[in-house]
Amino acid sequence: MSKIATVWNREFRSFWLSPIAYIIIIAFLALTNFLYFRTFFLEGQASLRTFFDFLPWTFLLILPALTMGQWAEERKTGTIEPLLTLPVTEWQVVLGKYLASVTLLVVILLLTTPLVLTVKVLSTNGIDGGQTLMSYFGALLLGASYLAIGSWVSSFSDNQIVAFILSLAAIAVLLFLGLPFVTYFVEGGFSVLLRNIGLTTHYSSLGRGVLDMRDLLYFGSVIYLFTFLTTRMVESRKWS
Amino acid sequence: MIEVSGLTKKYGDVLAVDDVSFSVSKGEIVGFLGPNGAGKSTTMKVLTGYLAPTEGTASINGHDIIDAPLAARSAVGYLPESTALYEEMGVVDYLRYMGRMQGVSAADIQGRIDDVIQTCGLGTMAHKDISQLSKGYHQRVGLAQALLNDPPVLILDEPTSGLDPAQIVEIRALIRRIAEEKAILLSTHILPEAQNTCSRILIISNGKLVGEGTSDELLDMVSGNEQYSIRLRGGDGTLKKLEDLRGVHNLVSSKEGSELTCTLTAEKGTDLREQIFDTAVASGAKLLELSHRSTSLEDVFLSLTGTTGRRGASADAEGGSDNE
């Protein structure tokens, strides 16, 4: 346990030692606020829906940058060797690194609260606190799934840029699967299956303020599956 | 402390380490000597758990590297060949991280850091970022990191590579200083390093262990000759008499003015220096120069590894610039 915390601590601090965390946060906030307030006054209605609707797309552009270096950089500089010859299991290192990126995601989400407060002040009939909280929870699970996929891609890549593009592509596939413009073209049962595999279905379900076990199970499975695959990928070097 | 038996490692179809067995006990510095690509680093990577062996096994401080990997790794301080460090971190910060990961408790960590900074002569660099350090100090931070949890076993992959001659001397002295209480396995492709630092040498070539012993024992493995270079003035018939000395195989001479230069090859294990002197004096010649050279470890190395030419066995003190 303390090993996971030690890895987490180093990884989280190293985000701030390089410009990467600042660039990602500024880019994310600029993008989200621009997209939101662009239509805010046109609609004449204070609702957070568009904000949460944009999140899967802004996350898609931003979050792969958080994980692209996670393993690719260790492999490129060679620091992976002293790291994995320490008395720790691969699982502990994978988890510590992953949780550090999730922590940065939490920071990013917290930094969007001024937007929410602005809307709350401007709106005439207030906003639904419970639904907003649940939407945030959904956003956290969605982002955490992106990060798990990004970690996995980074674990078999030597190059950060390649890792970024591949993660983006992998997440996009999972995102598109559940969208109507894909499910529209396939038949009945298969369409339902696709919708349930897709990330958006579960994200919007949480966004409606409903806490459904199936959605929790879905995000839990995606996160577990990809952190598990990352661990196996990191272990596979032994038999190369 | 290190027990290796029948260790084999294949990369796909390529045999990198082939049935290697050896042991290193407490107080020993064992040199792992071989040309580049002989399998030194691969063996070390297997011992430290970075790679899994294809066949065979090894144990460190009694812990099997396959059955008890974490216990085995806790007992090893490892300096990889690349000496890769987190460049963005400060020296102390990095050491604290590595120490905690090695299992040093929060209460002890500061004391251990102070200790290794002292031992490795990092005092003036302690508060810099690693990216600001020179290659020599990188190496010292890597070594400091390996010592943090005071492990009984040290595995050092080319600890002096890329250092200048003064730094090499310092690092060697440092290794000898910490050797008493530990079992140390260090790899090198530089012969004088193995000869100067190590109490025992393992010679590896193409993944196989081809020689093992102290440098004297290794010299005995290869039958060589004794060679004498002689320079004389005057004394007719000296050459004839020298040729008749016991055990002389061969004599080559050349004349320059009044000076006669000759190279005399004799049977191994004989020391003819006094007889050469007496012979010269007896025939009225003035002995200007006399030097003796027996088989060097370099000859042993070349003959055991089957290397042609002098590559990989360079005797230059600043070797290691040809990192692979």
B19-44 per-position pLDDT tens digit: 999 999 999 999 998 888 889 999 99
> If we measure between CA atoms, which residue out of B171, B173, B199, B168 comes closest to residue B184?
B199
Q: Kindly state whether B87 is in contact with chain A, defined as any CB-CB distance less than 8 angstroms.
A: yes
Of the residues B101, B139, B150, the best mutation for testing chain A's interface (the one with the most A CB atoms within 10 Å of its CB) is B101
Q: Kindly state whether B50 is in contact with chain A, defined as any CB-CB distance less than 8 angstroms.
A: yes
Query: Do residues A106 and A140 lie in contact, with contact meaning Cβ atoms separated by under 8 Å?
Result: yes
pLDDT at A118: 85
For B150-175, write each residue's pLDDT tens digit. 999 999 999 888 788 888 888 888 88
For B195-248, write each residue's pLDDT tens digit. 888 989 999 988 999 888 887 777 776 656 778 888 888 877 888 888 888 878
From the list A3, A81, A84, which residue is nearest B82 (CB)?
A: A81
Distance from first CA to last CA of chain B, Å, rounded?
A: 29
pLDDT at B261: 87
pTM equals 0.84
Mean residue pLDDT across chain B? 85
pLDDT at B244: 83
- Could you tell me if the ipTM is greater than 0.85? yes
- Per-residue pLDDT band at B307 (split at 50, 70, 90): low
Taking the C-alpha atoms of residue B60 and residue B76, their distance in angstroms, rounded to an integer, is 8
pLDDT at A45: 63
Indicate yes or no: CB of B73 within 8 angstroms of CB of A81.
no
**How far does the CA of residue A145 sit from the closest CA of chain B (Å)?**
27
φ and ψ of B57, to 5 deg: -150, 180
Taking the C-alpha atoms of residue A199 and residue A179, their distance in angstroms, rounded to an integer, is 9
**Of B112-121, B129-138, B139-148, B223-232, which range is least confident?**
B223-232
What chain B holds in terms of domains, given with CATH numbers, is: 2-219 (3.40.50.300), 224-294 (3.30.70.3190)
Taking the C-alpha atoms of residue B149 and residue B154, their distance in angstroms, rounded to an integer, is 11
Q: Is the pLDDT of residue B324 over 70?
A: no
Neighboring chain B residues of A85 at a CB cutoff of 8 Å: 48-50, 73, 76, 78, 80
pLDDT at B311: 38
Q: Show pLDDT as tens, one digit a residue, over chain A (240 residues).
A: 689 999 999 999 999 988 888 999 999 999 998 888 887 777 666 678 888 988 999 999 999 999 999 999 999 999 999 999 999 999 999 999 999 999 999 999 999 999 888 888 877 767 788 888 999 999 999 999 999 999 999 999 989 999 999 999 999 999 988 787 777 777 777 778 888 888 888 998 888 888 889 999 999 999 999 999 999 999 999 987
Q: Kindly state whether B70 is in contact with chain A, defined as any CB-CB distance less than 8 angstroms.
A: yes
Neighboring chain B residues of A14 at a CB cutoff of 8 Å: 86, 88-89
Distance from first CA to last CA of chain A, Å, rounded?
A: 29
Identify each DSSP E strand in chain B by its residue range. Answer: 2-11, 14-24, 29-33, 55-60, 63-64, 76-79, 153-157, 183-188, 200-205, 208-213, 226-233, 248-256, 259-266, 286-293
Q: What is the largest CA-CA distance in chain B?
A: 82
- Please state, in angstroms and as integers, the Cα–Cα distance from residue B297 to each residue in A42, B157, B214, B224, following that order: 86, 21, 11, 11
pLDDT at A119: 83
Percent of chain B with pLDDT over 90: 43
From the list B73, B87, B89, which residue is nearest A85 (CB)?
A: B73
pLDDT at B218: 76
For B252-300, write each residue's pLDDT tens digit. 888 888 888 888 888 777 788 888 888 888 888 888 888 887 666 677 7
pLDDT at B319: 38
pLDDT at B322: 39
Residue A113 CB coordination number (10 Å)? 12
